[in-house]
Amino acid sequence: MNFSGKVALVTGAGQGIGEEIAKEFARKGARVALMARRREGIERVAEEIRREGGRALALCGDVSIECSMKNVVEQVVAELGEPDILVNNAGIQRTPAKLFEMEEKLWDEVLAVNLKGAFFACKSIAPYMMKRRHGRVILISSLAARRMSFFGSVDYTVSKYGISGLNHHFAWEMAEYGVTVNAICPGSVKTPMLVNSTTKEYLETIVKSTIPLGRMILPEDIAATTLFLASEEAAMITGQEIEVTGGALLGLGEYFRPMINQRIREMREKAARREQH
């Protein structure tokens, strides 16, 4: 695949999945805009892209604020050109809690970034793709959109189910303009966010118990799927949710319930200890 002459905007590009996607687009010739709330991550990734001979632009912004997202898109247009590709990867999860224990503030924060942020990204990019009658939108969702989250809680699960609805509806709206919209639903991806949110033992148990292919998904696996969906080879694929899970939906055991409940208790206790210090 060759993306020479294309402009790609990747949100949440400072680490993990977003970082690898941005680097792969650059390696294939695209001019890449990297967006995140914190500058240090995207500046580091942009510099690594430039050292490899690519062109990258690091832009700070908050996907959950419409004017911030719109401003980032306008900067991309001014400095790199009108975007051909949007990868909405920005997402967060917080200390898990049961629904009846969850505070409204936590619910609002996760939904604002994970779902409203995707809405603002799509809304901000749409006019440029509609005008050119071409474009690719890839929404990074989660296996949580297919069942539930084993790592977050109800706020995260609901936000990813919401991405499914956004994906289907936006794909229908954009079809008449020749723009495709698809979502990727990764399973357990070995990213800093995941590794830092749990224990090594929990990850090993998840892999052994739920992934028939026998290993965690890597950011490179998600990047490869993203580039395919952004390519001309995927011109007739739209409104789809592509599962990159290592076969994790092929079967589950009921014994997961006590293990998940134990992790929620442990993570809440850990968060409480941090607050005390």
Are 110 and 159 contacting, i.e. CB atoms less than 8 angstroms apart?
A: yes
Catalytic residue flag (residue 156) = yes
* Active-site hit among 156, 161, 177, 202: 156
The answer to whether residues 11 and 87 touch, using CB atoms and an 8 Å cutoff, is: yes
* Closest by CA position to 119, among listed 69, 184, 73: 69
Helix H segments across the chain?
16-27, 39-51, 66-79, 104-111, 117-132, 154-175, 192-196, 200-210, 219-230, 256-276
Q: 236 to each of 21, 54, 95, 171, 182, how far by Cα in Å?
A: 22, 29, 39, 12, 11
DSSP at 98: -
DSSP state for residue 36 in the 8-state scheme: E
DSSP track, 135-155: EEEEEE--GGGTS--SSS-HH
Distance CA 267, CA 155 (A): 16
Phi and psi of 256, rounded to 5°? -65, -30
CA–CA dist 5, 25 (Å, integer): 11
Strands 179-186, 241-244: pairing is: parallel
Tell me which residues are annotated as active site: 156
